[in-house]
Amino acid sequence: MNKIKTTLIAATTVLLFATSTHACLAACKEEKRDKLYSAQLSSSELQVITENALANKATDLELGAPYTIYPIETKPDGEKVFHSTLIEYPFGSSPRATTHAANPRGIILYVHGYNDYFFQKELAEKSDSAGFAFFAIDLHYNGRSYSEGEPRSDMRSVKEYYAELDAAVALSKRIATKNSGKLPFIVIGHSQGGLITPNYLNERNKDDFAALILNSPFLDYKNSWFVRNIAFPVFSDIALLFPDMKAPAQEAPKYNMSLLKSEKGEWEFNSEWKSDEWPQQYFGYLRATQRGIKWIHNGLQIKAPVLVMRSGCTVNEIQWTDDYMRCDCMLDVNLIEKWAPKLGKDVTTVTFTNGIHDIFLSRKEVRDNAYNTMFNFIENALRKNVIVVYKD
């Protein structure tokens, strides 16, 4: 019996030692990777990436002319190659504008959310009509940037997008400033894009972005206090050791039903790229979102004025209810309100009654109010003389 007991103690000690050693190695590897991901691309790297993108521009097959796409290829950790896509709505193309200025007065870059891609033509047209050169990016593993066999919408750190965002910013500036010189730069982030972009701008403050617009940003999970504060942090620690372990499948809210023209909404989009059910998720994805959320909760120092837009209510039911047409079914709007002040010193939060998760896809009177609010906010930001300096 003593021999068995001794053997069990020895085996447990070895297992704990091996696990702790593995965890330490994994943590060191993660820290090293994050440093690589955080590093800003050099001017020479950006030159090569933008030249290749410009050489391979094409008409967007998804939205059609005049939308133009530019393939972006980055290798932020020196090993894994990420493919993303910049989408341009050429300045002066909008049929909504009564007159067109010769040159844009600013640049807008739109960053989509989880299980999503850019298809919001109205946003592009209204931005163009307001005098802004409009661009959007389909991040790697999403939309136009997704290739068969890849883990769709997966990520291991919000920082893994920084290089392609650096490239998208540089490329859109190069396209838009041919004859305009210096232009203010505005970033719009929706949902998970509203988790990625605040962390990105916080580390790129020296670029002096003119404004950050967050449309229902992913600032916390829509779960109970216990799940958010106890369960998820534990799973996040497990994910450090087993990032590629598949997470249990979860039933997704009936969000697409509220959007699709063929269902109850007003919009048409590629339901393979923005699917009814969520793509396969992994423990590493949970850890990536947990860490990104934690960085925001700890407090960011974004210099640019930040506008946070959110719905007036939350839908907690998974099955269809008419509340899907007037509330946010993906995030807890009260938690958005709670954490928004952590983004920086100049944060404005606006609630849109009857707004859905994507405020710009809400019913017409709601989204018209949102557009007016956003462009008025941008006007005020531009008056603060925050200008992006672009050098060739």
Rounded to two decimals, what is the model's pTM? Answer: 0.92
Residue ranges covered by each domain of the chain: 39-383
Contact 117, 274 (CB under 8 A): yes
- Give the chain's residues under pLDDT 70: 1-22, 98-99, 179-181, 207, 385-392
Give 283-327 pLDDT, tens digit per residue.
Answer: 999 999 999 999 999 999 999 999 999 999 999 999 999 999 999
User: Burial, 24: exposed, middle or buried (Cβ in 10 Å; 0-12, 13-18, 19+)?
Assistant: exposed
Give me 265's structure tokens.
């909404």
Per-residue pLDDT, 19: 54
- E-only strand ranges, 52-105: 58-59, 68-74, 82-89
CA distance 273 to 276: 10
Phi and psi (nearest 5°) for 235?
-65, -35
CA atoms within 13 A on the CB side of 18: 6
What is the pLDDT at residue 205?
85
Task: Report the alpha-carbon distance of residue 302 to residue 211 in Å, rounded.
Answer: 10
**Location of structure tokens 């603060």:** 384
C-beta separation of 356 from 267 below 8 A: no
In terms of Cβ atoms closer than 10 Å to its own Cβ (0-12, 13-18, 19+), residue 133 is buried
Using the structure block, give the residue that is written with the tokens 């691309």.
41
Residue 389 has a pLDDT of: 40
Residues 353-368: pLDDT tens digits? 999 999 999 999 999 9
pLDDT at 329: 97
Report the DSSP beta bridge partners of residue 260: 267
Q: How many CB atoms lie within 10 A of CB 51?
A: 12
* CATH of region 39-383, choose from 1.10.10.10, 3.40.50.11440, 3.40.50.1820, 1.10.3470.10: 3.40.50.1820
